[in-house]
Amino acid sequence: MVVREYHPNPKSHARPRSYVRCRGSGAVSYGYLLFCGMGPLRMIKESEIMKGQACPKDYAANLQKLLKSLNKFRSAYGKPMIVTSGYRSPEHNRKIGGAKNSAHLSCQAADFSDPDRKLAEFCLNNEALLESCGLWVEHPSYTPTWVHLQIRPVSQRYFKP
């Protein structure tokens, strides 16, 4: 058995993540899957929100706040969360018929795939968690196959579009 330490970014001062690999067995450990970004504990990344677009300067702080809130929530959820829509430019938002004042326009919202409604159910059952993460949810009855989470405050935790 080989135990190694791995620095995801050599310039980073973050503590190295260790992982264990079983030599010759062909099997990879859970830790190795995490290291590969394939495990359920994988964090939601900036690139998943921006999808190749540059973050407008005015929204850089929103983006960091959004990621922090979403990842705190995701840690409690404990399962993968797949971003289907993050930041939207005004053009893109118009094209897909998004709401005019959508929180997606200011890097304050993300949509997550949820065809089996597991994430929606978790949201509906964990209002206190949403509150502690600083997240508001479009009521899942309006989002049949996805979940919309946003950091821009609205009057109701589960709000109407």
Q: Map tokens 């309006």 to a residue.
A: 142
C-beta of residue 149 within 8 angstroms of C-beta of residue 70: yes
Give the residue with the Cβ less far from Zn ion, 36 or 96.
96
Q: Where are the beta strands (DSSP E) in the chain?
A: 2-6, 17-21, 83-85, 109-113, 136-138, 146-150, 158-159
What are the distances in angstroms from CA 110 to CA 14, 25, 130? 27, 40, 14
Minimum CB distance to Zn ion, residue 122 (Å): 17
Residue nearest to Zn ion (CB): 148
Among 66, 67, 122, 148, binds Zn ion (CB under 5 A): 148
Tell me which residue of 98, 109, 99, 93 sits closest to 147, measured CA to CA: 109
Least distance to Zn ion, CB of residue 46, Å: 18
Binding segment for Zn ion (CB under 5 A), chosen from 33-41, 55-63, 119-127, 148-156, is 148-156
Q: How far is the CB of 147 from Zn ion (least distance, A)?
A: 9
Taking CB under 5 A as the criterion, which residues in 63-122 touch Zn ion? 111
Give min distance, CB of 50 to Zn ion, in A. Answer: 15
| Tokens encoding 28 | 């990879």
Residues at the contact surface with Zn ion, assessed by CB under 5 A: 111, 148
